[in-house]
Amino acid sequence: MTTSRRTTLGLGAALAALALLAPVLPKWALFLVVVSLAKGLAALGLLVLMRTGLVSFGQGLYFAAGAYAAGLARDALHLGDGVLMVLAGGLTAALVAALLGLLLARYRAIFFAMLSLAFSMILYGLLVKTPALGSTDGFNVSAKSFFGLSPASGVGRYGIYGIAALSAFGAAVGVDRYLGSHLGRLAPAVRDNELRVEYMGASVRNVVHLNLVLAGALAGLGGAVTALAVGHIDPEMAYWTTSGEFVFVAILSGTASVAAPFAGALLLELLRSFAYEHAPNTWQLVMGASMLAVILFLPAGLWSVFARKRRAAR
Amino acid sequence: MSAILEAEGLTKAFGAVTAARDVNVSIDEDTVVGLIGGNGAGKTTFLNLVTGYQKPTHGTIRFFGRDITGMPPRRITRLGICRSFQIPQVFDSLTAYENLLVGLGIVVMGRKAFVGSHLGGGTPEEAADEMLERFHLARYRDELASVLPEGVRKLLDIAMALAVKPRILLLDEPTSGVSADEKFALMDLVLGAIRADKVTVLFVEHDMDIVRRYTQRILAFYDGKVIADGESASVLSNPEVRRLVVGEAAPEEEGLHAPG
């Protein structure tokens, strides 16, 4: 069995598990899963960038762009279905990434990281200063329907849960296929040796640009899902701490598998919830210590535990 | 025989240093040509100019009569001029097989952009395995390039250049870093693999025994100029070449090479 087909089957099993769990999960757990999947989407985008050799400290920009686009899709364009709102979020973020990529694709390493951070802070500043979008308060977002069905009160969260699960599944399968394709294989090639990629006849800048758009679209989907789940959006989504959290998840997870960012995001949310409950004043300390532990003992991320086991079994 | 590659008045200056002075060369199709010369004589600069890594200060380069001066390496590669590197330029985090698949994948994706390229009906995956066989690399197929011995990386580098189906292949010191008693076996393997496709070969070499045995024609460089150009035996017996190139030909590293 090819690794790609095994991954697809594994992801399908995860999707089925999410569907089976839905009726038994308490409300807070449903919310936690949705938020984890949304952050996992943004971290999956970072995985694509990290495979290309780039770390962006500005994915909050696309996350916020997706969230605001989802809100505006309903308010301005009357696209009130949750599915359409999420698609609008992903598409808008992809367009923003396509535009900014014209400049970003020329930079590497710390210059790329800082420029992406700068762009996200510009968006933050713009949102804060735009009264039409609610300035620092943002505005409320809700979907009129899910998959064309009008939700009875209290059932809407299952609609959001379904959209989050399907988006995450679709994105993970899509990214896995992409990374295994001829085009996707150019990502690690660019990371390893840009000169040689050019000497094999491909444009390094186009490869980087494409992966920027892909990462932007994924963060946009995540932002739109978050907007629906939380029911509110504000400029904090573009703030650098949001971007930092995605990098946190991406490093915690590692780049070994497309499932890793979702597992990492879920672990982060669980860890934060419990740390917050049991150590309300020092929960950041718990988070920092766990990050340190991962970097020291699992430098390739949490997923490397599975990879090691598989290698040992061979 | 028609000219595959022509350089006319090719000059490249780096500030006060002139690495190529009025180089005029015409390479015939389906030949093996050696580039000789001491360190800093301009051999690698010539390769860098032809492949578009550096732009000439003056002069033109033509490929099958088409002006390619100033084109970037990826366009020149697509037209059918490929190169290998003195220091192997491979993708360290990929396996040997995947390294070949990168180039073959680019060929398949850009079929229209590559001139006259096709994989002979096979898939890129089959072509990658075929190329590994041809270079006797099959047993390293699934090893990461980063852990391969230097000699194997060297072969992989050349196989990668050949994989994208060039019409002419430029090899920068294929035998550097290889022990003297292995050089002939290596050249037999490499040229056998390349010439199976009737690809024209230009290679930089310091070992005169290798040059004498494998080339039909030699270009001798000195101080950025081509001081002799002709049939191998006559160039090697040219008094000026004997004095300026052969006499001091040391198997050292060339000063100007593509960055690694």
Nearest residue on chain B to A182, alpha-carbon basis: B105
Please indicate if any CB of chain A lies within 8 Å of the CB of B160.
yes
Residue A170: how many other CB atoms lie within 10 Å: 14
- Which domain covers residue A168, as residue numbers? 3-240
Residues A23-75: tens digit of each pLDDT: 888 988 999 999 999 999 999 999 999 999 999 999 999 999 999 999 999 88
Q: Domain for residue A192, yes or no?
A: yes
Residue A314: how many other CB atoms lie within 10 Å: 5
pLDDT score recorded for residue B259:
47
Total length of chain B: 260
Q: Domain for residue B257, yes or no?
A: no
Which residue from B94, B164, B259 is facing A189, i.e. has the nearest CB?
Answer: B94
Tally C-beta pairs within 8 A across A and B.
75
Q: Domain for residue A54, yes or no?
A: yes
Among B92, B100, B102, B131, the strongest candidate for a mutation testing the A interface, having the largest count of A CBs within 10 A, is: B102
Torsion sign over Cα B133, B138, B142, B148: negative
Nearest residue on chain B to A188, alpha-carbon basis: B93
> How many structural domains compose chain A?
1
Q: Domain for residue A75, yes or no?
A: yes
What is the C-alpha separation between A47 and A176, in angstroms, rounded? 11
Residue B37 has pLDDT above 60, yes or no: yes
Q: Domain for residue B184, yes or no?
A: yes
- Asked whether the beta carbons of residue B107 and residue A201 sit closer than 8 angstroms, the reply is yes
Q: Domain for residue B260, yes or no?
A: no
Among B48, B51, B74, B99, the strongest candidate for a mutation testing the A interface, having the largest count of A CBs within 10 A, is: B74
Residues A170-220: tens digit of each pLDDT: 999 999 999 999 999 999 999 999 999 999 999 999 999 999 999 999 999
Confidence of residue B188 (pLDDT cuts 50, 70, 90): very high
- In A180-199, the residues whose Cβ lies within 8 Å of chain B are 181-183, 185-186, 188-189, 191-193, 195-199
Residues A248-296: tens digit of each pLDDT: 999 888 888 999 999 999 999 998 888 888 888 888 888 888 888 888 8
Q: What is the value of pTM for the model shown?
A: 0.89
Residue holding tokens 């933050």? A124
**B contacts of A187 (beta carbons < 8 Å):** none
C-alpha closest to that of B161 among B109, B120, B106, B216: B106
pLDDT score recorded for residue B5:
92
Torsion sign over Cα B28, B32, B38, B40: positive
- Asked whether the beta carbons of residue B93 and residue A201 sit closer than 8 angstroms, the reply is no
Phi-psi group of B30: left, alpha or beta (phi > 0 → left; psi -120 to 50 → alpha; rest → beta): left
Half-sphere CA count of B208, side-chain side, radius 13 A: 15
Q: Domain for residue B23, yes or no?
A: yes
Asked if A129 and A135 count as a contact pair (C-beta separation under 8 A), the reply is: yes
Most confident of A241-250, B172-181, B227-236: A241-250
Element (H, E) at B143: none
Residue A144 burial (C-beta neighbours within 10 Å; 0-12, 13-18, 19+):
middle
What is the C-alpha separation between B79 and B116, in angstroms, rounded? 8
Residues A120-169: tens digit of each pLDDT: 999 999 999 988 898 888 888 888 888 878 777 667 888 899 999 999 99
- Specify the higher pLDDT residue, A14 or A143: A14
What is the C-alpha separation between A251 and A301, in angstroms, rounded? 6
Q: Alpha helices, DSSP H only, in A231-259? A: 240-253
Q: Say which CATH number the domain at B161 has.
A: 3.40.50.300
> How many structural domains compose chain B?
1
Nearest residue on chain B to A180, alpha-carbon basis: B98
Q: What type of residue sits at position A54?
A: L
Which residue from A188, A195, A200 is facing B106, i.e. has the nearest CB?
Answer: A200
Which value does ipTM take for this structure? 0.87
Q: Domain for residue A250, yes or no?
A: no
Torsion sign over Cα A205, A211, A214, A216: negative
Phi-psi group of A266: left, alpha or beta (phi > 0 → left; psi -120 to 50 → alpha; rest → beta): alpha
pLDDT score recorded for residue A107:
93
- Which domain covers residue B151, as residue numbers? 3-246
Q: Domain for residue A261, yes or no?
A: no
